[in-house]
């Protein structure tokens, strides 16, 4: 009885995070101020338009539709390229030790720190018809800069770190004994890769590809210089938004922005589903 009374007199156990109420309030305030309010403002501004006006500005305009096709198509192609070569880069960084490995590992993060406009200028200088690489393709009539291949290259550059950094932890946690057991059972290297390694890292690989796609979808700076911005050919959706803002067509820019926002939410949902699948796959 006395023991129970003593326990009741003890102060309550501290929560998992000291000052939870204060930190939660600061978190909600910051997220609301920086994310929720601007996005809500974008959606609310769209409600001023009728559906017919929204459809005309964001869906029925041939120039806008061409920018959607280029943005989504080039982003998907760039993310797929990063899925292949990003896997190779992550594999080399995880499985091998060589001179310059740390330098290569740091270079992977360079697109995070490099201003996108600087990377766009560098790529344009390199892949233009008079550039170091572009002039090699010029005799064959192949244009890289100021054409869709240049856009894909720029989007591949900005998306590579997402694939590599997502795959590295998955490859590091992969048990090498499983590969050795597969080899001891008579499986070739190709069979071991397809049936053992690839299924184990597939959730992380798909997550990295989805992140790279989402990053490429909203890219503007690096694409602006290398695209050439030719109407109906090399105009991406973010560029159309900027052009409409410069023309004081706020409703048109907002309508396209809402479409891109919806695409971003769908990508976020897909990434969350992939991460949940990855966690369940890891627990098994």
Q: Does some domain include residue 163?
A: yes
Helix 62-95 vs helix 148-172: crossing angle, to nearest 10: 40
pLDDT of residue 82: 95
Q: Does some domain include residue 193?
A: yes
Q: Does some domain include residue 236?
A: yes
Contact partners, residue 174, CB within 8 Å, separation at least 6: 197, 200, 201
pLDDT of residue 159: 93
* 243: containing domain: 50-100+158-219+229-283
Asked if 46 and 262 count as a contact pair (C-beta separation under 8 A), the reply is: no
Contact partners, residue 179, CB within 8 Å, separation at least 6: 192, 196, 197
Q: Which of 43, 19, 45, 41 is nearest to 32 (CA)?
A: 41
Portion of the chain with pLDDT greater than 90, in percent: 31
Q: Does some domain include residue 180?
A: yes
- pLDDT band (50, 70, 90) for residue 67: very high
Contact partners, residue 187, CB within 8 Å, separation at least 6: 195, 196
Helix 62-95 vs helix 101-108: crossing angle, to nearest 10: 160
Domain count, the chain: 1
Q: Does some domain include residue 40?
A: no
pLDDT of residue 261: 87
Q: What is the pTM of this model?
A: 0.83
- Distance CA(265)–CA(147), nearest Å, equals 29
Indicate the range of 48-52, 105-109, 146-150, 168-172 predicted with least confidence.
48-52
pLDDT value at 1 more than 70:
no
pLDDT value at 15 more than 70:
no
Q: Does some domain include residue 240?
A: yes
pLDDT of residue 277: 73
pLDDT of residue 123: 92
pLDDT of residue 201: 87
Asked if 148 and 234 count as a contact pair (C-beta separation under 8 A), the reply is: yes
Check the CA dihedral 16-22-25-26 and report its sign: negative
pLDDT of residue 266: 85
Helix 250-283 vs helix 237-246: crossing angle, to nearest 10: 150
- Distance CA(196)–CA(245), nearest Å, equals 51
Q: Does some domain include residue 239?
A: yes
Asked if 67 and 237 count as a contact pair (C-beta separation under 8 A), the reply is: yes
Give the residue-averaged pLDDT of 48-60. 84
CATH number of the domain within which 238 lies: 1.10.3720.10
Indicate the range of 17-31, 93-107, 197-211 predicted with least confidence.
17-31
pLDDT value at 107 more than 80:
yes
pLDDT value at 117 more than 90:
no
Per the rule left: phi > 0, alpha: psi between -120 and 50, beta: everything else, 247 is alpha
pLDDT value at 204 more than 90:
no
For 49, the 3-state DSSP assignment is coil
- pLDDT band (50, 70, 90) for residue 130: confident
pLDDT of residue 11: 52
DSSP state of 138: G
DSSP state of 174: S
Give the residue-averaged pLDDT of 45-73. 87
Contact partners, residue 66, CB within 8 Å, separation at least 6: 231, 232, 233, 235
Residue 256's φ and ψ, nearest 5 degrees, are: -65, -40
pLDDT value at 175 more than 90:
no
- pLDDT band (50, 70, 90) for residue 45: confident
Q: Which of 112, 67, 17, 6 is nearest to 253 (CA)?
A: 67
pLDDT value at 190 more than 80:
no
- Distance CA(60)–CA(68), nearest Å, equals 11
pLDDT value at 100 more than 60:
yes
- pLDDT band (50, 70, 90) for residue 92: very high
Q: Does some domain include residue 60?
A: yes
């Amino acid at each position: 009885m006395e023991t129970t009374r003593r326990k009741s007199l003890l102060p309550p156990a501290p929560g998992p995070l000291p000052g939870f109420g204060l930190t939660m309030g600061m978190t909600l305030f910051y997220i609301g101020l920086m994310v929720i309010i601007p996005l809500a403002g974008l959606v609310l501004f769209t409600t001023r338009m009728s559906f017919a006006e929204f459809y005309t500005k964001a869906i029925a305009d041939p120039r806008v539709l061409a920018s959607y096709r280029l943005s989504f198509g080039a982003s998907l192609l760039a993310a797929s390229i990063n899925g292949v070569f990003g896997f190779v880069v992550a594999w080399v960084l995880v499985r091998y030790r060589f001179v310059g490995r740390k330098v290569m590992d740091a270079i992977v993060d360079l697109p995070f720190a490099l201003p996108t406009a600087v990377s766009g200028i560098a790529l344009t200088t390199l892949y233009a018809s008079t550039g170091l690489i572009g002039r090699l393709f010029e005799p064959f009539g192949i244009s890289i800069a100021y054409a869709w291949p240049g856009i894909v290259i720029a989007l591949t550059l900005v998306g590579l770190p997402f694939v590599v950094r997502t795959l590295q932890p998955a490859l590091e946690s992969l048990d090498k004994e499983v590969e050795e057991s597969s080899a001891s059972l008579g499986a070739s290297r190709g069979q071991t890769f397809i049936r053992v390694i690839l299924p184990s890292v597939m959730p992380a690989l798909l997550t990295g590809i989805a992140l790279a796609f989402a990053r490429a979808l909203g890219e503007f700076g690096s694409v602006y210089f290398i695209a050439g911005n030719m109407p109906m050919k090399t105009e991406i959706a973010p560029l159309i938004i900027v052009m409409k803002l410069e023309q004081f067509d706020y409703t048109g820019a907002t309508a396209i922005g809402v479409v891109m926002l919806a695409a971003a939410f769908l990508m976020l949902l897909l990434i969350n589903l992939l991460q949940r699948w990855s966690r369940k796959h890891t627990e098994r």
